[in-house]
Chains A and B, each alone.
Chain A
Amino acid sequence: MSEKEIKSLEEIFEAKIARDEKIEPKDWMPEKYRQTHIRQISQHAHSEIVGMLPEGNWITRAPSLKRKVALLAKIQDEAGHGLYLYSACETLGISRDELYEQLHSGKAKYSSIFNYPTLTWADMGAVGWLVDGAAIINQVPLCATSYGPYARAMVRVCKEESFHQRQGFQIMMTLAEGTPEQKEMAQDALNRWWFPALMMLGPTDDASVHTAQSMKWKLKRKTNDELRQQFVDQTVPQAEMIGLTIPDPNLKWNPETKHYEFSELDWEEFWQVVKGHGPCNKMRLDARRNAWNNGEWVRNAAMAYAEKQENREVKQAI
């Protein structure tokens, strides 16, 4: 294709997105659109899969059968979300194996929040309330993103995600209404998860390299700072409602802007965790690699069985 032809295809493409038309897998798309989507959708899928690990730690330690079945259901949803997203990503012409390889080699990133440890049962509450809460704020606008398979996957994800946040908040609420030790446990979890949850919404707008292009492609509808402000504004009253304190001495309501003001975040810590130096980066990746490598014989056995059955059917037909 000549440069001129590509230019006119690009114009048609951009106009389509501007009209809110969806892009489907076999439609022509600029290579950069394809690559950006592979990067973002796979990062999202990996986050769902790695996100199961900090919670898996608490399945056998859940305080009651009710809490245990709820936690199991939430983790199973996350496996499902990872699968929807991997499927959406594969429609862009990359294989599942390549995607896993990028995760296991460290080439692809996942949400850095999952590199923090889950130390007490209250962390299951804080993760559901804050981490899933921040995720929902990020994900709801993606239901209207321009790439059809991603938007459809996000609709399913968002429908299921609200149960996650509610079960997390209810854990925190129950602990906050409990004994002084239980309330302290809830406060401690909030203290540890608050700032990482705020950072989950991404670098500040002036430091975010992908924002401008992503807004144009409707891969992003609000900037990171707008999303973060929305999260703070909606979460602070929730903490007050259950008598917990947001661990930020600079937090205050601004009656003029009608928003909360809050402390500058520790971006140095954020980049350290992204670069692999968080408390649990190595543990998380090792767990993924081990699961993949140790499962290889199972995958091979299933494939060998399927082939054998197929051959048997063919022979019988003859």
Chain B
Amino acid sequence: MKNWPLWEVFIRSKNGLEHRHCGSLHASDATMALENARDVYTRRMEGVSIWVVPSSQITASNPELNGETFEPAMDKAYRHPTFYELPDELKHM
């Protein structure tokens, strides 16, 4: 018999905030994954909403390619407001 698949759990701690990844668990289906997530991750009112996603459905970037993936942003200082030197007399900008 197949083992219960792995699910990733995301919790919104209160309305106005995003769901955040908080861990994973095993469950036979989505309904059970939600029930288990409630018991494992929200025993002390840590959340108002839960998402569960099969772990196998997540596509992740490869940390070995972090250089070419993320480093190009480092030499693009002109994307930041501090790049633009303006006179001190200028207000509200």
Chain B interfacial positions (CB closer than 8 Å to A): 1-4, 6, 23-26, 28-29, 32, 39-40, 43-44, 60, 62-64
Contacts and interface: CB of A to CB of B under 8 A. Distances in A.
B31 to A, nearest CB: 9
Interface stretch (A24-32, A131-139, A204-212): A24-32
Contact of A309 (B2, B29, B40): B29
B28 A303 contact: yes
Contacts of B25: 83, 87
Contacts of B26: 96
15 contacts: A26-B60, A28-B63, A76-B39, A80-B43, A83-B40, A84-B23, A90-B24, A96-B26, A153-B23, A299-B1, A302-B28, A303-B1, A303-B3, A303-B4, A303-B28
A97 B3 CA distance: 8
Given A24-B63, A26-B60, A28-B64, A95 B28 contact: no
Interface in A15-42: 24, 26-28
Contacts, number: 52
Chain A's interface size range is 20 to 34
A84 B39 CA distance: 12
Interface in A76-93: 76-77, 80, 83-84, 87, 90
Contacts of A97: 3
A73 B64 CA distance: 43
Interface centre among A299, A306, A310 (most CB of B within 10 A): A306
Contacts of A96: 3, 26
A95 B64 CA distance: 24
A62 B34 CA distance: 31
Given A80-B40, A95-B3, A299-B1, A305 B28 contact: yes
A300 interface: yes
A27 B43 contact: no
The 5 lowest CB-CB distance pairs between A and B, nearest first, are: A306-B29, A302-B28, A306-B28, A300-B1, A87-B24
A160 interface: yes
Given A160-B44, A306-B28, A87 B63 contact: no
Interface centre among B6, B24, B39, B44 (most CB of A within 10 A): B24
Contacts of B32: 302, 306
A24 B66 CA distance: 13
Contacts of B63: 24, 26-28
B43 A77 contact: yes
A310 B28 CA distance: 11
A24 B6 CA distance: 18
A233 B11 CA distance: 39
Interface centre among B4, B32, B62, B64 (most CB of A within 10 A): B4
A90 B6 contact: yes
Contacts of A306: 28-29, 32
A87 B43 contact: no
A300 B3 CA distance: 8
Contacts of B43: 73, 76-77, 80, 160
A8 to B, nearest CB: 14
A105 B39 CA distance: 29
Contacts of B64: 28
A100 to B, nearest CB: 10
Contacts of B39: 76, 80
